[in-house]
């Protein structure tokens, strides 16, 4: 007989109360209990990265984490990236650069990159290469994944720079009007 535990998980902005076995992994809970099957399970040893999700904004291997450890933390899965049918900029970059083939590893790479770019928005190509080496892909050869992440980073940086310039220009115009 196992002792089950009541927990509350915040996943993709929604709270769910669950009664689970304390030894159930976050990956199994996301997939089997919450139906978020974008989190893939590959090696179940934390090596392949297919189960990568964001926990409080940082990439984490969901197969190595118990669901009870994720209580009171913000969890994001690959399902959080798109807005309805509208793909995120990172997902669009992966598609444009053909950074996926079979697609099994793709959700893990997307979440790894999303967390990384939030932390290092002006990442260098060398840093991106180092990042992607932590996840396994048997199809793409990694080059297209690096290209996609780099393209997304540059576009985000250009967007931030453009918004900063626009805000700065508006501030100068309002100062001159006074």
Question: Do residues 81 and 18 touch, judged by C-beta distance below 8 A?
Answer: no
Dump pLDDT digits (tens) for 94-144. Answer: 999 999 999 999 999 999 999 999 999 999 999 999 999 999 999 988 999
**For residue 134, with 0-12 CB atoms within 10 Å meaning exposed, 13-18 middle and 19 or more buried, which class applies?**
middle
Residues 69 and 86 in one domain: no
| Strand partners of residue 58 | 55
Q: Which residues contact 166 (CB under 8 A, 6 or more apart)?
A: none
pLDDT value at position 175? Answer: 63
pLDDT in tens, 137-177: 999 889 999 999 999 999 999 998 776 667 666 666 666 65
DSSP, collapsed to helix, strand or coil, labels residue 122 as: coil
Tokens 């190509």 -> residue: 125
Indicate whether 24 and 88 sit together in one domain: no
**Same domain flag for 93 and 149:** yes
Q: Which residue, 20, 45, 80, sits at the end of a domain?
A: 80
Q: In the chain, what percentage of residues exceed pLDDT 90?
A: 85
Domain residues for the domain of 100 are 82-178
pLDDT tens column, 15-30: 999 999 999 999 999 9
Together in a domain, 176 and 88: yes
| The model's pTM | 0.89
């Amino acid at each position: 007989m196992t002792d089950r535990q009541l927990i509350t998980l915040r996943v993709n902005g929604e709270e769910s109360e669950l009664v689970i076995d304390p030894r159930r992994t976050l990956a199994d809970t996301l997939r089997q209990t919450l139906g978020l099957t974008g989190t893939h399970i590959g090696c179940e040893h934390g090596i392949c990265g297919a189960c990568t999700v964001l926990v409080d904004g940082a990439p984490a291997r969901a197969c190595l984490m118990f669901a009870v450890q994720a209580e009171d933390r913000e969890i994001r899965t690959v399902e959080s990236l798109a807005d309805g049918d509208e793909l995120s900029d990172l997902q669009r970059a992966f598609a444009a650069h053909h950074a996926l083939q079979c697609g099994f590893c793709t959700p893990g790479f997307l979440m790894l990159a999303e967390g990384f770019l939030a932390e290092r928005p002006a990442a260098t190509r060398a840093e991106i290469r180092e990042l992607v080496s932590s996840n396994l892909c048997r199809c793409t050869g990694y080059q297209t994944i690096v290209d996609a992440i780099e393209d997304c980073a540059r576009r985000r940086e250009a967007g931030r720079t453009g918004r900063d310039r626009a805000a700065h220009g508006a501030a100068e115009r309002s100062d001159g009007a006074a």
